[in-house]
Amino acid sequence: MVGRRLIRSSGASARSRQLPASRRAWRRLTPYAFLAPTIVALGLGNAIPVAIAVHLSFYHTSLVAGDERFVGLDNYREILHSPGFANSLTVTTKFTLATVIGSMTIGLGLALLMNGTFPGRGLVRSLLLIPWAMPLVPTAMIWRWLLNPTFGLISWIAQSVGRHGSPEWLQDPTLALIAIIVIQIWQLYPLAMVLYLAGLQNIPHDLYEAARVDGAGAWRAFLHITMPSVRGITVVLSLLMSLWAFGRTFTIIFLLTAGGPVDATKTLTLLTYQSAFQTLQFGLASALGSLVFLIAAVFATALLVTTRSRHAATM
């Protein structure tokens, strides 16, 4: 310990004290030099497009090039008063809650199962990751075929188990939303599983030993040892998965239901896409996107602030 401190003071810091001012300034700027490529790429690819989108959200746009006029908050007013927005907000909220809770619960459950030892564990873990590695469009296609009301495998199973024949999964408003949620959970649980498994493997074994000596059952050990130990992972996962479900899930829904039936699966992402690229109302779509951006920003910041302060409280 002392030795290392000696090396450090005789090395890096002592040397930097002797450096001329220009070199010291350069050293202070080093982190930003490293960040520069990322910042430039994210600036060009994200910040500028976001700024343009926010700018466009105050304009009425039409197909005629150059015909853009400033309308103030009219786009926002129109959105907030439209039943379509209220519907999409409800659908998106249900979709987000169900997929985040579902993926994380299943991910944690499988991580607990995978944390034990059994023959073929490595192979099983690899195979459980497959849904995550499958590209979106083929995934959407095979699910569509599985859910085909006449010839789909899932419909056939439902028909043989139930008495009433198979429902038209994607034609029924409730079932369509459930189907989309199930597919999304199916695709995302591996991420939760992998991260939770990592967390579980970091928990020292003696903690459980001590709990058992103290007479705590498996459930109490789970509540008081496992859950607190993976709390950081839970926060990161719920943050990222909520953001993705809320504002970024598109392909699966677009290819399975395109927002239907009767808008039952029309999430905010679908609504935004359709107003931008199907009815070509760029101003309106930009306003919608800016609202989603605002909601996501408030949610993410609130989550980060509350979890950080609670962390501080427990320490």
Partner 1 sequence: MRLATRKQRAQFALNALRFSAILVSLCLAVLPLYWMLHEAVQSAAYRFVLPPSLLPRDPTTSGLISVLSGDGPHWLLNTLVVAVGTALLALVIGAWGAYALSRFTDRGLGAAAYIVLATQFMPPAVLMIPMFRILVYLKLDDSLPGLVLADLVFTLPITTWILKSIFDAIPVDFEEAAMVDGCNRMLALWHVVLPITLPGIIAAGIFAFLESWGEFMFARTVISDPSNWVGSIGIASFLSEYGPRWDQVMATAVVFTLPPVILFLSVQKYFVAALQGGVKG
Secondary structure of 147-158 in HEC code, one letter for each residue: CCCCCCHHHHHH
Q: Of the two residues 134 and 223, which places its CB atom closer to partner 1 in the complex?
A: 134
* Smallest separation, CB 201 to partner 1 (Å): 8
Judged by CB under 8 A, the number of residues near partner 1 is 94
Cβ atoms within 10 A of the Cβ of 276, count? 18
Q: Measured between alpha carbons, how far is 255 from 270 in angstroms, rounded to an integer?
A: 11
Q: Measured between alpha carbons, how far is 92 from 99 in angstroms, rounded to an integer?
A: 10
Q: Measured between alpha carbons, how far is 279 from 61 in angstroms, rounded to an integer?
A: 11
* Smallest separation, CB 153 to partner 1 (Å): 6
Q: Measured between alpha carbons, how far is 292 from 113 in angstroms, rounded to an integer?
A: 37
Q: Of the two residues 160 and 314, which places its CB atom closer to partner 1 in the complex?
A: 160
* Smallest separation, CB 35 to partner 1 (Å): 5
Give the largest Cα separation in the chain, rounded: 85
Name which of residues 176 to 235 contact partner 1 (CB under 8 A). 186, 194-195, 197-199, 201-202, 232-233
- Using alpha carbons, list the distances in angstroms from residue 28 to 14, 24, 32, 159, 288: 15, 6, 8, 69, 41
Q: Which of 141, 210, 227, 262 binds partner 1 (CB under 8 A)?
A: 141
Beta strands of the chain (E only): which ranges?
Answer: 59-61, 68-70
59 binds partner 1 (CB under 8 A): no
Q: Of the two residues 146 and 175, which places its CB atom closer to partner 1 in the complex?
A: 146
Contact 195, 235 (CB under 8 A): no
100 binds partner 1 (CB under 8 A): no
Piece of the chain touching partner 1 by CB under 8 A; list 30-38, 70-78, 173-181, 204-212: 30-38
Name which of residues 101 to 130 contact partner 1 (CB under 8 A). 109-110, 113, 116, 118, 124-130
Name which of residues 225 to 254 contact partner 1 (CB under 8 A). 232-233, 239-240, 243-244, 247-248, 250-251, 254
Name the CA dihedral angle for 288, 290, 294, 296, rounded to a multiple of 10 degrees.
70
Q: Of the two residues 76 and 156, which places its CB atom closer to partner 1 in the complex?
A: 156
25 binds partner 1 (CB under 8 A): no
* Smallest separation, CB 75 to partner 1 (Å): 12
98 binds partner 1 (CB under 8 A): no
